[in-house]
Structure 1
Amino acid sequence: MRRTDFDCLHIIICFTIIVAHCLLVFCPQPHYHLKNSVLSPGLGLIDEFNRIWFLPLFFLLAGWSSLVSLRSRGIGHFLKERWRRILVPMIAGIALFCPPIKYVELLQGRDLRPSGLRFVEPTQLSFLEFVPRFWTHINQATWSHLWFLAYLFLISVLLLPLLTRLTRIGSLSKSDPLPAMFAYLPFLPLAILVVGLDGWWPFYPTLYRDWANFCYFGAYFLIGAGMAAYPPFELCVQREWPRLGVIGLTASMGMLFAIDTPLGRFLAALATWANCGAILGLARGFLQADGRIFKYLREATLPLYILHNVFVVVLGWYIVHLPLGILAKFCLLTTMTLVTTIAIYHFVLRRLPVLRFLFGMRPFQPATIPKTVEPSGGLPTATESSQPANLRQPISR
């Protein structure tokens, strides 16, 4: 049985990320490839509010689906799937799209290196002259938004021994419902982790200088795997969604006034967990979809995620020079990015077998009635499983 609520969340998160990257062009946050000449602190607060839920939820859903995949298919198939669905698309995305992203960055006199942001003289090289430097100078390289795939692959492999152990506790899925207090317990270790390691800010996912956030996202991955291994915990969290939602919104508002402080990190940990729990509950109660458009978008999530950022940056380079206000530029950039990304996916990428492979999609298959559940072509957090009966009951709204 498919988890259509999780599939809906994948689609929502994918489009939220596209909008978030368009926002970054106009936000004060420094670590992005392109910036408008005038920046908006208000849009920056919106970006912070968005990031507080969709990044942790991404990894939580990835952990859930990884445990399900490992339980049903074994270690060998799991590792093969990680290679095909994560590593190959990441390498293809870096090779195809990151050189123009880095080139536009240098055209504006910005240089996001592994060590941080530098301001330099705008490059005088042509794009064709720059491409060899991208591959021969480590400081000229970038993985841009594809850091998520790198983090996800490493977390999946490093936590494989723990995932393997979690697959052995399936007999606990028929346990009695958990008390409501268990829905709030993950907050404490998450807060200790993010405050103790000075995580969350600054957010610059280079891996080797970002171990705090790497561990934090790994914790969410484990929580998601734990939900798949012990469904009463997932149901407990989902039933608490109204209270978690209030806590999450309150903590998020407080966090916005304490950014990059110990109090802000404490509130960020509280807000991320509460918002994730509330969203899971809302999705269970309200996000149930089917039909051709839903299936189309479900398969498109990973390719759209890989494709979109090059259009944000390249189109943004021309849009930021237009004599328009910030809001008009943002709306124009978002619209053009969505239209261009979906058009390239629909008319080119999804039709060519070699591109389907490079972007982590399944080959075209004739329409048949499946005997077993197969992973979707969407983001590598696909959510198919044989769902326990106690989680198929609707939760209280």
Structure 2
Amino acid sequence: MESQTLKDSRRYDIDWLRVIAIGLLLIYHVSIGFQPWGRMIGFITSKEPWAALWVPMSLLNIWRIPLLFFVSGMGVYFAMQSRSWGELLKERARRILLPFIFGMFVIVPIHLLIWRKYYGMEMSYNWDPGHLWFLGNIFCYVLVLSPLFYWIRKNENRAWVIQAKEILSKPWGLLLTLIPFLVEAVWINPLPFELYAMTWHGFVLGLLAFFTGFCFVMSGEGFWKMIQKWRWLFLGIGLSLYLLRTFNIQSFPPSYLLATESYSWILAVFAFGSLYLKGPSKSLRYLSQAAYPVYILHMIFLYLGSSWIFPLDIPIALQFILVILITFAGCFGSFELIRRVSFLRPFFGLK
């Protein structure tokens, strides 16, 4: 009976958003290879930049990573329903910490060595979590916040928790949840805002998003119905602030405006996702299982594809398409192997 209840309460829109966010992450990383600053952050770059790609990239880059932190916090809420505190930590250590350590010492060195070889550098490697910094952050959040989460769950029928849920089901409740993000943005004042990897900005913002995502999904249907009702407002605010910074002559807009824009886009994504991304499917089951290994592996195939394609004298748009195809084909081809080999599965976060 309990398992059936958990099955019925599962939010497939959140599963879809996780899959979509990982897909956008791959495309965004491919796009970095066509930006003149890509090599400065350790990417293999094309000799011919493609400036037009920056338009969609700049729209995505202030909310794509925070969205994943929100979704991760939501996932912990559902995981807690059938696990004790110790079981949750053990499960997250197996599915997050183990792939993080494995990836840091096995996966990341491979793509960094491909990068160094492409640019004729010394073939050496220093300890670096690379793109897997996200996993390290998530595991820290689980360790820090899970005692608080279980305490809230234990008191879920208390008046103060019920009142908190009611507040989060009101539009003005969202303004209260926005305040910590504004404080973080003003306090740390990150330049640029989208620099999340291994920064205090990324860590604190991720912690806030992880906790807020947990609170959102705990609030139940009242929250989802409210954001569905106001979805066009969230979309309008996000788009307006994006256009403002796009056509503003200032190099760096105020951090509090970027935090507000990021939050608006995320609320819009959750609102539209909850309306249109419904129900289980074979595609969702497959992609949900593939998302984690694809995320862990994608930099290897991105760097391989870049090193093969960028020296070719072909149109820049064709380079972009070919690198995407190689990245996705390599990732999903590897996933098909990994999911069939039992001893490999735990290293890529699979049960």
- Pick from 309, 312, 315 the counterpart of residue 319 of structure 1: 309
User: Structure 2: how far apart are the matches of 1:291 and 1:105?
Assistant: 38
In the other structure, the counterpart of 1:354 is 343
Equivalent pairs: percent with the same residue?
24
Q: Conserved in 2, the CA contact under 8 Å of 1:33 and 1:104?
A: no
Higher mean alpha-carbon deviation, 92-101 vs 146-155, is at: 92-101
- Pick from 264, 273, 276 the counterpart of residue 286 of structure 1: 276
Q: Tell me the C-alpha RMSD between the 2 structures.
A: 2.3
Q: Conserved in 2, the CA contact under 8 Å of 1:252 and 1:267?
A: no
Q: Conserved in 2, the CA contact under 8 Å of 1:308 and 1:341?
A: yes
1:76-115 equivalences in 2 (<5 Å): 76-109=86-119
1:242-253 equivalences in 2 (<5 Å): 242-253=232-243
In the other structure, the counterpart of 2:171 is 180
- Structure 2, unmatched stretches of 5+, are 1-7
Q: Conserved in 1, the CA contact under 8 Å of 2:193 and 2:255?
A: no
In the other structure, the counterpart of 1:370 is none
The 3 A distance-change label for structure 1 pair 318 and 221 is same
2:117 aligned with 1:154 = no
The 3 A distance-change label for structure 1 pair 144 and 163 is same
C-alpha displacement at 1:63, in angstroms? 0.9
- Pick from 197, 201, 204 the counterpart of residue 192 of structure 2: 201
1:260-279 equivalences in 2 (<5 Å): 263-279=253-269
- Structure 1, unmatched stretches of 5+, are 110-121, 135-139, 363-397
User: TM (normalized to structure 1)?
Assistant: 0.78
User: Structure 2: how far apart are the matches of 1:45 and 1:358?
Assistant: 36
User: Structure 1: how far apart are the matches of 2:248 and 2:151?
Assistant: 39
2:60 aligned with 1:50 = yes
C-alpha displacement at 1:77, in angstroms? 0.8
**Residue deviations 1:147-177 (CA, integer Å, cap 9, x gap):** 1111111122122333233223422559658
User: Structure 1: how far apart are the matches of 2:196 and 2:67?
Assistant: 17
Q: Conserved in 2, the CA contact under 8 Å of 1:5 and 1:288?
A: yes
Q: Conserved in 1, the CA contact under 8 Å of 2:232 and 2:268?
A: yes
In the other structure, the counterpart of 1:17 is 25
- SS in structure 2 at match of 1:223: helix
In the other structure, the counterpart of 1:167 is 153
C-alpha displacement at 1:343, in angstroms? 1.5
Greater helix content: 2
C-alpha displacement at 1:67, in angstroms? 2.7
2:56 aligned with 1:67 = no
How many residue pairs are counted as aligned between the two chains? 335
The amino acid across from 1:187 in the alignment is L
Q: Conserved in 1, the CA contact under 8 Å of 2:192 and 2:252?
A: no
**Residue deviations 1:283-337 (CA, integer Å, cap 9, x gap):** 1110014332221111111111111111001211121111123222111100121
Q: Conserved in 2, the CA contact under 8 Å of 1:33 and 1:101?
A: no
User: Structure 1: how far apart are the matches of 2:105 and 2:254?
Assistant: 37
In the other structure, the counterpart of 1:239 is 229
- SS in structure 2 at match of 1:52: coil
User: Structure 1: how far apart are the matches of 2:175 and 2:194?
Assistant: 25
The 3 A distance-change label for structure 1 pair 155 and 333 is same
User: TM (normalized to structure 2)?
Assistant: 0.87
